[in-house]
């Protein structure tokens, strides 16, 4: 049995038996830290923790390894509930196009953007896609992410969507963190269906979803509900078909415009609504009547120079907020959640504690891992981050661009 003992931890963060599985409103300010602590991990499961003064000396003899954590903090790993980590190619050409004045939406209207990724995806074989993506996921884990959601959505055809989801399934078998898979065939209309939306929706409903169900390839069903992408009514058709196949809705909405997608997603029992750079009062009212979690993606706002989501509006209305990376080759090439932590503090006016809660417990909730991930409690298995020496945890988002992660244990 693998028994790892952390001793002399300067601060054991998000640790306790009464930590809620989701924190909303003012609760998001609370981040419990046990000072001068120990923690015993048995096969990745939290077995014991508490103040050093309570450490039973016998544990020292049975531990298979002891990590002296003097001057360091131990955190539950981050939970990244929204990524597009499987893709064929990066898109730095568009990055330069945007520097030269085009917007993300203009590039997409000219046939670039997601369609560029779809073309590259159709040309890569499954094994190569798997190897490249697995390498990427290993880097994501090294940066402190201990639970990861990955979407399809660069396939936009039966073969390629299934190829992406099979790759996600293979990645699951090769890493030690939980991975959730999301079917996002409704990410954009393929060129051939630009004028025939219903034609593509029919393919999603009658061909792709049944095959995903038969091969058990996904947990969630996603749609990019946005002007020039999927309308609310189109989203509804896809979500209903996904639900009938046992997939839980989790959607892209309100990135550039407010179409009413949030209330429709809530009505269809979505687990999360993601992006929300635009957010209206009706959206807040809809969320207040639901268990759906608002998820914001500050890396996307930063990279595309679009507004940051109004996180304070979510919190002041006593709602829970999750944050995620949105890691993808078009709008957010950054998977590092320490960077997202800084951006949330700097640009969305979240306190360091609020932002960490949004990246841990609330991120876990947004991917169906509440309880086991995002916090350190008896029996939880969140994966752990051992920090470099730090004075306090506020230094982490403050020292933006610097890595605070020394070791990640998953
Ligand atoms: O969440 N907004 C839609 N989808 C992705 C970006 C996709 C891309 O540009 O490749 C996002 O930002
Ligand atoms: Fe996304």
Mean pLDDT of 106-121: 95
Render pLDDT for 199-231 as a digit per residue (tens, 0 to 9).
999 999 999 999 999 999 999 999 999 999 999
Mean pLDDT of 260-265: 98
Kindly state the tokens that stand for 250.
Answer: 């989790």
Dihedral sign, CA of 90, 93, 97, 100? positive
Q: Which atom of ligand 1 is nearest to the CA of 332?
A: 12
* Residue 387, φ and ψ in degrees, nearest 5: -80, 165
- Residue of 301, 384, 299 whose CA lies nearest to 341: 299
Residue 57 in this model has a pLDDT that exceeds 90 = no
Mean pLDDT of 163-168: 98
Percentage of the chain with pLDDT > 70? 100
Predicted structure pTM score: 0.98
- Ligand 1 centroid, distance to 206 Cα (angstroms): 25
Q: What is the pLDDT of residue 369?
A: 98
Q: Which atom of ligand 1 is nearest to the CA of 117?
A: 10
Q: How many CA atoms lie within 13 A of 211 on its CB side?
A: 17
CA distances from 213 to 165, 209, 251 (A): 11, 6, 19
DSSP 8-class letter at 256: S
Which pLDDT band, with edges at 50, 70 and 90, does 325 fall under? Answer: very high
- Ligand 2 centroid, distance to 210 Cα (angstroms): 23
- Do residues 69 and 384 touch, judged by C-beta distance below 8 A? no
Which pLDDT band, with edges at 50, 70 and 90, does 86 fall under? Answer: very high
Q: Which atom of ligand 1 is nearest to the CA of 326?
A: 1
Alpha-carbon distance of 155 to 293, in angstroms, equals 27
Three-class SS of residue 252?
A: strand
- Ligand 2 centroid, distance to 300 Cα (angstroms): 8
- Ligand 1 centroid, distance to 255 Cα (angstroms): 9
Mean pLDDT of 174-191: 98
DSSP H helical segments within 175-293, as ranges? 197-203, 209-214, 232-244, 261-267, 281-288
Going along the chain from its start, the domains and CATH numbers come out as: 3-76+375-409 (2.30.40.10), 79-365 (3.20.20.140)
Residue 1 in this model has a pLDDT that exceeds 90 = no
- Do residues 276 and 287 touch, judged by C-beta distance below 8 A? no
Please report which ligand is nearest the Cα atom of 188: 1
Rg (CA), the chain: 21
Indicate which residue's Cα is closest to atom 12 of ligand 1. 331
Residue 409 in this model has a pLDDT that exceeds 90 = yes
Render pLDDT for 386-399 as a digit per residue (tens, 0 to 9).
999 999 999 999 99
- Do residues 156 and 187 touch, judged by C-beta distance below 8 A? yes
Q: What is the pLDDT of residue 177?
A: 98
Q: Which of 274, 326, 330 to probe ligand 1 with, by most ligand atoms within 8 A of CB?
A: 330
Q: What is the pLDDT of residue 60?
A: 85
Q: Which atom of ligand 1 is nearest to the CA of 113?
A: 9
Three-class SS of residue 311?
A: helix
Render pLDDT for 132-156 as a digit per residue (tens, 0 to 9).
999 999 999 999 999 999 999 999 9
Q: Which residues does a 6 A CB cutoff place in the pocket of ligand 1?
A: 113-114, 117, 224, 252, 255, 300, 326, 328-331
Which pLDDT band, with edges at 50, 70 and 90, does 61 fall under? Answer: confident
């Amino acid at each position: 049995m693998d028994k790892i003992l952390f001793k002399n931890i300067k601060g054991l963060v998000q640790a306790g038996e009464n930590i809620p599985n989701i924190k909303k409103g003012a609760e998001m300010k609370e981040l419990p830290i046990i000072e001068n602590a120990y923690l015993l991990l048995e096969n990745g499961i939290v077995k014991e923790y508490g103040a050093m003064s309570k450490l039973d000396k016998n544990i020292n003899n049975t531990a298979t390894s002891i990590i002296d954590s003097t001057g360091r903090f131990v955190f539950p790993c981050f939970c990244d509930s929204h990524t597009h980590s499987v893709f064929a190619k990066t898109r730095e050409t568009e990055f330069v196009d945007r520097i030269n004045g085009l917007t993300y939406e203009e590039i997409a209207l000219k046939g670039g953007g997601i369609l560029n990724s779809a073309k590259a995806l159709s040309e890569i074989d499954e094994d190569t896609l798997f190897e490249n993506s697995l390498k990427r996921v290993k880097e994501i884990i090294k940066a402190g992410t201990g639970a990861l959601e990955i979407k399809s959505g660069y396939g936009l055809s039966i073969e390629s969507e299934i190829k992406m989801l099979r790759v996600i399934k293979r990645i699951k078998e090769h890493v030690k963190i939980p991975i959730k898979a999301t079917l996002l065939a409704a990410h954009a209309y393929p060129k051939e269906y630009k004028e025939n939306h219903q034609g593509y929706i029919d393919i999603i409903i009658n061909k792709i979803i049944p095959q995903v169900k038969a091969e058990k390839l996904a947990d969630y069903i996603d749609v990019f509900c946005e002007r020039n992408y999927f309308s609310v009514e189109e989203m509804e058709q896809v979500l209903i078909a996904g639900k009938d196949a046992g997939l839980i809705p989790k959607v892209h909405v309100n990135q550039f415009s407010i179409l009413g997608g949030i209330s429709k997603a809530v009505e269809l029992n979505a687990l999360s609504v993601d992006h929300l750079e635009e957010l209206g009062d009706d959206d807040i009212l809809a969320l207040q009547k639901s268990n759906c979690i608002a998820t914001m993606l500050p890396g996307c706002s930063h990279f595309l120079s679009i507004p940051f989501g109004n996180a304070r509006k979510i919190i002041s209305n006593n709602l829970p907020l999750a944050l995620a990376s949105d890691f993808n080759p078009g709008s957010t090439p950054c998977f590092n959640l320490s960077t997202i932590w800084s951006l949330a503090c700097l640009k969305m006016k979240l306190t360091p504690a609020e932002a960490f809660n949004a990246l841990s417990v609330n991120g876990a909730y947004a991917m169906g891992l509440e309880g086991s991930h995002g916090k350190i409690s008896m029996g939880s298995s969140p994966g752990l981050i051992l920090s470099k020496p730090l004075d306090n945890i506020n230094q982490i988002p403050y020292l933006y661009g610097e890595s605070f992660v020394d070791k990640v244990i998953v």
